[in-house]
Structure 1
């Protein structure tokens, strides 16, 4: 049972609602324009949660490998899950976990695309790219100062526009506008969580916004 909880901790369960809310908001707009298919809605929610969990596990894994999470104690909302530094899960096991979750999310996206359009699969592939290469070398977007933008685009337009299309089969300007607000808010949540990790992120070469602001105060 302890091993199971260690794997669940790696997916950062407490943060998964951040990917559920954008789907719900997009669905509420879609429902105003006529009834929606709730089977597709729940499949979309499931796929998005799988993608988010995979991204969290990959982020935890590569932050540990690259040294950002080795020298700090995991907090409630920062510092990673702590299961890798404690040896509760190995790097290889973490890679297997996020690979299975990423592939499962793509399986859902493929199912949503069958007989309709390839767009859901494209959104899914984009999400996998953002989630995997957020910290994975050689791209490691978060280490190059692009982490906050990646998160804002993923949780805003990425999830909301993709979800709306899954439900309605077209895109909507209102959802795009709302997605900018949602993405910005999630980006702010990320920055707040980065504040405690600023020093260790700097030491590991991870140029988050919080780390860059910390560096400016030291100059």
Structure 2
């Protein structure tokens, strides 16, 4: 139920924030270790709550490790009550750990607030009565949690309250996360439709490809538009090296049930941003604040 194939993407998203923070100046690696641990605990709690809430659709879906949930409940290895208990326990550990880290000064106050928002966001994403993923808001919520809040947590642990510029720098990552989650929901669309889970793939059918194409356009287009003044040229060049992957994904949208193209594009773009900002940091040219 921990979804071990998905958890590393959370580490990758956090690493994007670390790279941006490094480009702005030196960071405390001990503080980053605490921030990453708390972030992954919140991520784990979200996975358990999602397993609980999506037991109905996961029982009908094809499990790939990326889409269809973990399959643990459907296979009889666990039940919903275990998933709920795990979500509550891990959420409690995250809250207590976050409170201790914030009060003790191990992480800045801004990081503690981001952690709390992320933990709550993970719950309202899938858990009733709000269950945003069943109301057409799941894709955007998921992308903001993974593509924005996780990197922001890393940045806040390094330099306290992130400036507006960092939010803008992370918009291509949010778009890349959308490319991935749209692919996951496309793979699960038939199972989701049967249980009344209204993802964008269920609501729009094959026309969801327009949302996909828009997300891809933003993931690649924003670095082009922002290059040189908000996004470093090094990041733009690194992103452009992944363009063949993005083009392949664009060509496969709604033509395959596999979530792999979208997930691969997201991973490739996250790695590109990490490399680009790391080059800026090691070159000793901090981004203008």
2:145 aligned residue (142, 148, 154): 154
Query: Could you say which residue in structure 1 is the equivalent of 2:100?
Result: 111
Query: Could you say which residue in structure 2 is the equivalent of 1:196?
Result: 187
Query: Could you say which residue in structure 1 is the equivalent of 2:236?
Result: none
Q: CA deviation at 1:73?
A: 3.7
- How many residue pairs were aligned? 206
Give the alignment's Cα RMSD to 1 decimal. Answer: 1.9
1:22–1:156 contact (8 Å) kept in structure 2: yes
User: Partners in 1 of 2:162 and 2:65 — Cα distance?
Assistant: 37
Tell me if 1:85 matches 2:82: no
1:112–1:120 contact (8 Å) kept in structure 2: no
1:142–1:206 contact (8 Å) kept in structure 2: yes
Query: Could you say which residue in structure 1 is the equivalent of 2:166?
Result: 175
* Runs of at least 5 residues in structure 1 that lack an aligned partner in the other structure: 1-9
Q: CA deviation at 1:34?
A: 2.5
1:75 aligned residue (43, 64, 85): 64
Task: Note the 1:42-57 alignment, pairs <5 A.
Answer: 42-57=33-48
User: Partners in 2 of 1:212 and 1:48 — Cα distance?
Assistant: 31
Q: CA deviation at 1:115?
A: 4.6
User: Partners in 2 of 1:16 and 1:28 — Cα distance?
Assistant: 19
1:61–1:94 contact (8 Å) kept in structure 2: yes
1:22–1:160 contact (8 Å) kept in structure 2: yes
1:50–1:102 contact (8 Å) kept in structure 2: yes
* Runs of at least 5 residues in structure 2 that lack an aligned partner in the other structure: 209-289
TM-score, normalised by the number of residues in structure 1? 0.86
Residues 2-27 of structure 1 show CA distances to partners (whole Å, capped at 9, x for unaligned) of xxxxxxxx011111122112221211
List structure 1 segments (4+ residues) > 6 angstroms apart after TM superposition: none
- Give secondary structure in 2 for the equivalent of 1:19: helix
Q: CA deviation at 1:180?
A: 1.1
TM-score, normalised by the number of residues in structure 2? 0.66
1:125 aligned residue (96, 116, 136): 116
Query: Could you say which residue in structure 2 is the equivalent of 1:5?
Result: none
Taking structure 1 as reference, are residues 171 and 76 closer, same or farther at Cα in structure 2, changes over 3 Å only?
closer
2:6–2:65 contact (8 Å) kept in structure 1: no
